[in-house]
Amino acid sequence: MKSKNYDLVIYVVLVVFIVVLGVYKIVIDNSKKKQKALLEESSSAIVELASNRYKEVSSTDNNIFSLVYKYYKYKEVSTSNDKLNYDGYTPKGGSIIVNMEAEVAFALYNDYYCAIKDYDGEIAISVKDGSGCDLEKVYYEDESGASKPDVSGNIIAVMYQDGNWIKADTYQKWYDYKQQWWANAVLVDQEVRAKYLYSTPGTIVKDDDILVHLVWVPKYKYQIFNSYSNEISETSIEIVFQSSNETESNKLSNEQWITHPAFTFNGEELDGIWVAKFETSGTKDEPLVKPNKEALNSLTLSEQFDASSVFDDLNTYGIMKKNYVHMMKNTEWGAVLYLSQSKYGIYGIGETMMGNNSLSYITGCASDDSLSPSTLECQNEYNTEIGVKASTTGNIYGIYDMAGGLAEAVMAYTKTTDDNNLSGFTEAPDETYYDLYQSGEESDTKEAYNRKIYGDGTGEVNNWYGCTSYMITSKKPFFIRGGSSINPNIFSFDIYNGENRSDIGFRIVMS
């Protein structure tokens, strides 16, 4: 009898549990439906309100380029002086941005749903998941297939407008690789960093506040065109952009495709790399990457390497990833070179790159024409009509000083003896930070050029446009690139012993 009563109790408990569970599910489902409906309704209302608000504000202030509004824990927490003051159902969190055309993009969410809208799209409501709900999902992306630039942390995207670098609106067009418009960014002084990070797009970024200019080189694969390192005529290099999870490198023969090796760093596949827009200037303890400055020279290779690591600092430069900044490797030089020699670079507009012929090694300078002799002056600054022709794109959005200025040391190495190593390195740094080449004694033969690394811009392009073409050897185990102010050429690759020289500089890369 006792057993039957016990079974009955268990049965009743189970029934009650199932009923309660069912009721709870109904309540939750109803709550979800209500929250979805409310989010849909508020999203539509916010689009109209935010657009009208921009029109109202911009009608009295011509310096307004965009408006940004933010929500956190069901409250508006916009950092600008202007508030949206929406009086309907308030999202739990998210961001809203209105561009110069009064178009609205946003990412808003509540407990269960995420509402996303880009500038010219419809509102999309989806179940909120672990991937989050933020405006990164609606970052601008051009039609070239190039990966979106990494503007995380303290990297500030910029555009050039009316003689100034301004903070870019990363939710609308701020680069276009099909138009040789490479993405640019800056790092600023820590005292004004917060000001720029939280300022609205269109804000002028003062030159005095900028410490580092950067240019985004997206990951790509290229079609092999000179597998055997023959001396061939100059040609366009065929490039297709890729994402970090795409890799092709199985076949190393002509007309096959290979993912450029610069986009693998420390075993990790990258979406792209940030490359210094100019040669390094400043001092080895306080280096800079800026135009119109005397490039830093007269350092050994190891001193250049150490000076590059100074950039890897949170307080001064705002770098949030440890071991993120390093001295440019030879393959990374090649990555910039090949992109420049493609339809996405200066080759794509049929222009000839002007060299930096400044014997004072002023960064960003351009010669008057390809026949101009070297001079102590800066004939054309980087942002002038002729000056932009010294960039890898033929416009202000490219990378400068790749042809001329200082010859640039890069991190690449072949085995040598102590007598031939004047670099200051007593032992090699971590292999992540340099390219290792096969050893050899010849420097300007087909056999020498075949010691290349695919994509490094040596053997595959030897003697292009009359460039200096010497492969490193056991007697001269280090590369210098780009010629000099006397003989500028982005394709040039020469060799030296790593010593302190007044005509050699370097640049940095963020991987």
- Residue 140 — pLDDT band, cuts 50, 70, 90? confident
Count CB-CB contacts under 10 A for residue 428: 12
Q: Mean of the pLDDT values across residues 338-346? A: 98
**Could you tell me the two tokens for 26?**
């109904």
Q: Is the pLDDT of residue 24 over 50?
A: no
Q: Which of 247-256, 282-291, 333-342, 381-390 has the lowest mean pLDDT?
A: 247-256
79 or 253: whose pLDDT is higher?
253
Q: Is 384 helix (H, G, I), strand (E, B) or coil?
A: coil
* Predicted local confidence at residue 417, as pLDDT: 85
Q: What do you get for the CA distance between the two ends of the chain, in Å? A: 76
Q: Provide, for the chain, the percentages of residues in helix, strand and coil under a 3-state DSSP scheme, each rounded to the nearest 5.
A: 25, 25, 50
| Higher per-residue confidence, 126 vs 469 | 469
Tokens of 498: 């790593």
Residue 22 is predicted with a pLDDT of 54
Q: Quote the CA–CA distance of 240 and 222 in Å, as a whole number.
A: 6
State the pLDDT at residue 4: 59
Give the whole-angstrom CA distance, residue 54 versus residue 457.
Answer: 49
| Distant-in-sequence, close-in-space partners of 161: CB < 8 Å, separation ≥ 6 | none
pLDDT reading at 136 higher than 60:
yes
User: Is residue 242 predicted with pLDDT exceeding 60?
Assistant: yes
Q: How confident is the model at residue 72 (pLDDT cuts 50, 70, 90)?
A: confident
The dihedral formed by the CA atoms of 304, 307, 309 and 311, expressed in degrees to the nearest 10: -130
The residues near 220 (Cβ < 8 Å, ≥ 6 apart) are 239, 240, 241, 242, 259, 260, 263, 339
pLDDT of residue 497: 97
Q: Give me the long-range contacts of 197-201 (CB less than 8 A, separation at least 24).
A: 197/154, 197/156, 198/79, 199/167, 200/64, 200/65, 200/66, 200/67, 200/68, 200/80, 200/167, 201/65, 201/66, 201/166, 201/167, 201/168, 201/169, 201/170
pLDDT at 302 over 60: yes
Is 96's pLDDT higher than 70? yes
Least confident of 52-56, 220-224, 377-381: 52-56
Residue 16, pLDDT above cutoff 70 = no
Confidence category of residue 99, pLDDT binned at 50, 70, 90: confident
Kindly report the backbone phi and psi dihedral angles of residue 239, in degrees, each rounded to the nearest multiple of 5, phi listed first. -130, 140
What's the confidence (pLDDT) of residue 455? Answer: 97
Q: What's phi and psi for 21, nearest 5 deg? A: -60, -40
- Position 252 scores a pLDDT of 85
pLDDT at 83 over 90: no
Tokens representing residue 139 in the block? 């970052």
Sign of CA dihedral 123, 125, 126, 131: positive
Q: Decide if 492 contacts 462 (C-beta within 8 A).
A: no
Determine the Cα angle at 54 with ends 187 and 75, to 5°: 75
Q: Phi, psi (5° rounding) for residue 340?
A: -65, -35
Q: What is the pLDDT of residue 228?
A: 96
Is the pLDDT confidence value at 421 over 60? yes
* pLDDT at residue number 9: 61
Percent of the chain with pLDDT over 70: 91
Half-sphere exposure at residue 375, Cβ-oriented, CA atoms within 13 angstroms = 13
C-alpha span between 382 and 496 (Å, rounded): 29
CB-based contact 304:311 (threshold 8 Å): no
The full DSSP string for 215-254 is EEEE-EEEE---TT-------PPPEEE--TT----S--ST
Count of C-beta atoms within a 10 Å radius of residue 429:
16
Q: What 3-state class would DSSP assign to 44?
A: helix
pLDDT at 486 over 50: yes
Place of tokens 């849909």: 40
Q: What residue type is 182 in one-letter code? A: W
106: which DSSP letter?
E
- Give the pLDDT mean for 130-147: 79
Pairwise CA distance, residues 335 & 410, whole Å: 13
Can you say how many angstroms the Cα of residue 136 is from the centroid of all Cα atoms in its chain?
15
Q: For residue 16, what are the CA distances in angstroms to 25, 26, 27, 352?
A: 14, 15, 16, 82
Q: Is the pLDDT of residue 25 over 60?
A: no
| Phi (first) and psi of residue 258, to 5 degrees | -140, 135
Task: Name 71's bridge partners.
Answer: 76, 94
What does the pLDDT read at residue 79? 61
- pLDDT value at residue 317: 96
98: confidence class by pLDDT, cuts 50, 70, 90: confident
Instruction: Match 């991937």 to its residue by tokens.
Output: 131
> Which whole number is the average pLDDT over 209-224?
97
Burial of 185 (0-12, 13-18, 19+ CB in 10 A): buried
- Is pLDDT above 70 for 476? yes
* Token pair 């941005």: residue: 97
**Ranges 89-93, 297-301, 307-311, 343-347: which has the least confidence:** 89-93
Average pLDDT, the chain: 91
User: For residue 98, how far is the Cα from the chain centroid?
Assistant: 25
3-state secondary structure of 418: helix
Distance CA 410, CA 386 (A): 28
Q: How confident is the model at residue 196 (pLDDT cuts 50, 70, 90)?
A: very high
Instruction: For 421, list phi and psi in degrees, rounded to 5.
Output: -105, 100
Q: Positive or negative, the Cα torsion across 456, 461, 466, 472?
A: positive
Indicate the SS3 state at residue 43.
helix
What would the mean pLDDT of 394-415 be, rounded to a whole number?
Answer: 97
The CA–CA distances, whole Å, from 392 to 89, 296, 347, 352 equal 50, 21, 9, 10
Burial 213-224 (b: 16+ CB within 10 A, else e): bbbbbbbbbbeb
Task: Please report the pLDDT score of residue 129 as a whole number.
Answer: 66
